[in-house]
Amino acid sequence: MPSIADIVTTSRPSQATYFDANGVLKTAAANVWRRDYDPVTKAPLGLLVEPQGPNLLPYNSGSQMLTGWTAQAVTTENLPDAKFGTIARITETNENAGHGILKGYSASGVSLRHAYFKKGNRRYIGMGVGTVTSDQVWNVFDFDAGAWTQGNDVRPTSLSDTGRGYFQPENVGDGWWRLTSWRGSNAVFIVAFFNEPKQDRPTYAGSDGFFYMALPSVEEALFPSSSILTGSAAATRAADNLSFPLPAGTHNLTYTFDDNSTLVVPGVSGTYTIPTNLPRAHIKSIVARAA
């Protein structure tokens, strides 16, 4: 039986990331399709097909990760990591102030702020949603419970949405969580230490507390996508362009996605290109039947 590589033509003029069968973040070279895996169960999720997407934050990976961020009463140290390549350890000082890190950015519409976090020796961290540090609505993440303490799951409805909110936390295995907040305008990506589950804002929580952070990103999108690696400048992941030839005649295509939902596309012939606006990004199978 021919492999996917024998059938599918892939065009994507940029690298792109995925999780491999060991739950490790990997980078596919340009024009190479991606088979993604659940980083917790290690089960195959299928082909990963995504639209073009920008990451507005420079220096989100590698040895210069977090360059340009403001460290408020904390120190940052970049460390090698088997899962993400490089991670940052954020450690409190003994300064009597709110402890955290922040980075401003410019966006024309809804912006999703997300990163991967792992517990150190503090149970709580908070993500602020606001345009400046004095305009923050905080939600606190409880590492032990794997949940926001205020249960927020308000998502943007369009790229022009002017609201703000948080997505449900995403467990990515090995103690790591992807946390996502959003705001409908230019804003500040801010993460801070908390010592209570429902404080209005961060306060002095002691010294030598720490947590780990990886791949902070800002996307102008309605939902977070695969991580987009950046260096000294913002970067854009090109859209996946996957196509394959169909046998002679007209066919109906049945997609099966990672959640086992299906979609039928009728009346297709010739060379077919997989669209990037499907209901789900992970495709387990595509079956063609004569119409």
- Note the pLDDT of residue 163: 87
Q: Mean per-residue pLDDT for 52-62?
A: 95
- Note the pLDDT of residue 252: 96
- Note the pLDDT of residue 153: 85
Q: What percentage of the chain reaches a pLDDT higher than 70?
A: 97
Least confident interval from 98-102, 131-135, 145-149, 270-274: 131-135
Inform me whether the pLDDT recorded for 6 exceeds 80.
Answer: no
Our measurement of the distance from residue 160's CA atom to the centroid of its chain's CA atoms, rounded to an integer in Å, reads 20
- Note the pLDDT of residue 201: 75
Least confident interval from 2-6, 195-199, 285-289: 2-6
Three-state SS for the chain is CCCHHHHCEEECCCCEEEECCCCCEEEECCCCCCEEECCCCCCEEEEECCCCEEECCCCCCCCCCCCCCEEECEEEEEEEECCCEEEEEEEECCCCCCCEEEEEECCCCCEEEEEEEEECCCCEEEEEECCCCCCCEEEEEECCCCEECCCCCCCCCCCCCCCEEECCCEEEECCEEEEEEEECCCEEEEEEEECCCCCCCCCCCCCCCEEEEEEEEEECCCCCCCCCCCCCCCEEECCCEEEEECCCCCEEEEEEECCCCEEEEEEECCEEECCCCCCCCEEEEEEEEEC
Q: Mean per-residue pLDDT for 256-276?
A: 96
Domains defined for the chain, CATH in brackets: 4-14+38-52+239-290 (no CATH), 54-236 (2.60.120)
Q: How do residues 268-291 score in pLDDT, each as one tens digit?
A: 999 999 999 999 999 999 999 999
What's the whole-model pTM score? 0.94
Where residue 126 falls among pLDDT bands split at 50, 70, 90? very high
Distance separating alpha carbons of residues 114 and 15, to the nearest angstrom: 20
Where residue 62 falls among pLDDT bands split at 50, 70, 90? very high
